[in-house]
Amino acid sequence: MADNNGSEKNVRETIALLIVIFSTVIVAILAGVVISIAAQDTSNGADKAIDIFKTILPVFTAWVSTVLVFYFGQKSFEAASRSAQQLVGVAAQRAQTAISEIMRDVQKTVVFRMESGEEETHISQLRDLLKQQTRVTRLPIVDAADKPKYMIHVSALDKYEVNVKGGAGHTLAQFLSAQREGGVGYGSGQGFVTVARNATVADAKRLLDQHTSCQDIFVTERGTADEPLAGWISNIRLEEYLTA
């Protein structure tokens, strides 16, 4: 197959070179004829020759350009096609990777553990943890047994504290209640989806696509929210992995 492609490429390149040489010769001959006629000082003949030359040259040039554009366009199309096929192949291969291989390990990321319930947890506690970090915009929340409970986006806290008087001093329970009244949830199936450690990237993406309100994937051993959190991955990280 490689030899056939190479032979076909050589044939096309040879044809293109011959066309360029043939075109140059024809244009030179036409120009020589016009100059010869003009040199004989026959005004009518010279004018007619020049008119013919002006008519033929654009048509001839357009034909040559069309042939060359086809050749180089075909070559570019084949290169783009090969590149696209390679990208599709890479994406398909990465889609079969285990989600545990690309997740953020729970031991190496910022997670808030509620030692008690939502009523005793204050928004200020979440803020205190976030202040110790840089460029953290999402905060997984687990209970005392490390089971995933919520995924809170910092932008949601910012908006709440601006719009609700005294919001910064409220408990997590007050925040969650106010958000539920507005039709927004942060728990399983609303703020995050859960998959097993051995689930593939494709499995995780398919589940995330089915829950349009979720932007995060939590990973546990068997894929339920009733067991300790092992890691998580954002929708952005997932897309970057598939398209990089």
Q: How far are the Cα atoms of 9, 81, 120, 173 from residue 207, in angstroms, in the given order?
A: 46, 31, 33, 28
Which 8-state DSSP code applies to residue 133? Answer: S
Task: Please report which confidence band the pLDDT of residue 86 belongs to, taking 50, 70 and 90 as the band edges.
Answer: very low
Alpha carbon distance 47, 133 (integer Å): 83
* pLDDT tens for each residue of 110-120: 999 999 899 99
Which comes out higher in pLDDT, residue 32 or 152? 152
Per-residue confidence at 18, pLDDT binned at 50, 70, 90?
A: confident
Note the pLDDT tens digit of each residue in 179-226. Answer: 999 999 999 999 999 999 999 999 999 999 999 999 999 999 999 999
Token pair of 81 as six digits: 């096609």
pLDDT number for residue 162: 94
> Is 177 or 75 the better-scoring residue by pLDDT?
177
Which 3 state secondary structure label does DSSP give 171? strand
How many of the other CB atoms lie within 10 Å of CB of 42? 12
pTM here is 0.64
Q: What was the pLDDT predicted at 92?
A: 78
Alpha-carbon gap, residue 170 to 161, rounded angstroms? 9
In the predicted model, what is the mean pLDDT of residues 2-16?
Answer: 61
CA distance 70 to 101: 46
Backbone angles phi, psi at 173, to 5 degrees: -60, -40
Strand pairing of 231-234 and 216-220? antiparallel
Residues with Cβ within 8 Å of 104's Cβ and at least 6 positions away in sequence, in order, are 231, 232, 233, 237
Percentage of residues in the chain with pLDDT exceeding 90? 55
Compare 148 and 9 and report the one with higher pLDDT.
Answer: 148
pLDDT at 176 over 90: yes
What mean pLDDT is predicted for residues 220-238? 96
